[in-house]
Chain A
Amino acid sequence: SSELTQDPAVSVALGQTVRITCQGDRLKWNYASWYQQKPGQAPILVIYGRNNRPSGIPDRISGSSSEDTSSLTITGAQAEDEAAYYCNSRDSSGKHVVFGGGTKLTVL
């Protein structure tokens, strides 16, 4: 399957740890990348590869992978982490790109 599956919504208490997952067969051989999108803004890349953060992304945001699931973990969630998070990867053909449906993170 070329699909990537994400939970539609997740919530976390301020300062606590939250994990957002992305599941798909393709992720057995590919690392998902993760994007944060706040309302009215373009997505920004937050995690790529095994656990790489672009410049400016805080180290409380990390990535991991196990079997067919990639995870984004926010340790000590802050109010500014409230956003939609999307994963993506190439599909099994290698020629197309697929996005997960997105997870809306609420920081309580």
Chain B
Amino acid sequence: QVQLQQWGAGLLKPSETLSLTCAVSGESLSGYFWSWIRQPPGKGLEWIGEITHSGSTNYNPSLESRVTISIDTSNNQFSLRLSSVTAADTAVYYCARDGSGSYYPYYYYYYMDVWGKGATVTVSS
């Protein structure tokens, strides 16, 4: 059974860098995309970005200038760094495994089938 365990600093000051790690157990990183998603208090889900086992990344254009997602295949984990945080970055941060598929002739689907429990990050002076 695939499990994702997250950890990282929970309280940051404005301008600091958020750093979270997600360890994957029960599955290799190969063959999947791995995503970070966040949810501000009382609000909806926001995709932050994703990474493949080979290190290819895609980022949310609204966060791209501040986000770095990296992967450590030797320890089967991936990480998120978000620089210059403000109060608007206060949220629960989730990691997740991505999947995708297609139907002939040109229909596609995408999903996130395994999620971490979430890590609360608060930015406050």
Residues of A within 8 A of B (CB): 29-31, 33, 35, 37, 42-45, 48-50, 54, 86, 88-90, 95-102
Q: Is the CB of A29 within 8 A of B112?
A: no
A101 to B45, CA, bound (A): 7
Q: Is the CB of B110 within 8 A of A44?
A: no
A29-B108, A30-B107, A31-B108 are contacts. A97–B50 as well, Cβ < 8 Å? yes
A30 to B35, CA, bound (A): 19
Interfacial residues of chain B within 8-60, with CB under 8 A of chain A in the complex: 35, 37, 44-47, 50, 58-60
A30-B110, A31-B107, A50-B103 are contacts. A42–B94 as well, Cβ < 8 Å? yes
Q: Is the CB of B47 within 8 A of A48?
A: no
User: Could you list some 10 contacts between A and B, CB below 8 A?
Assistant: A29-B106, A42-B116, A48-B99, A48-B113, A49-B109, A88-B110, A88-B111, A96-B60, A98-B47, A99-B44
Contacts of B109 in A (CB 8 A): 30-31, 33, 48-50, 89
Q: Is the CB of A102 within 8 A of B45?
A: yes
Q: When A and B form their complex, which 7 residue pairs have the shortest distance between CB atoms, in order from nearest?
A: A48-B111, A33-B111, A31-B109, A97-B47, A102-B44, A49-B109, A42-B115
A97 to B33, CA, bound (A): 12
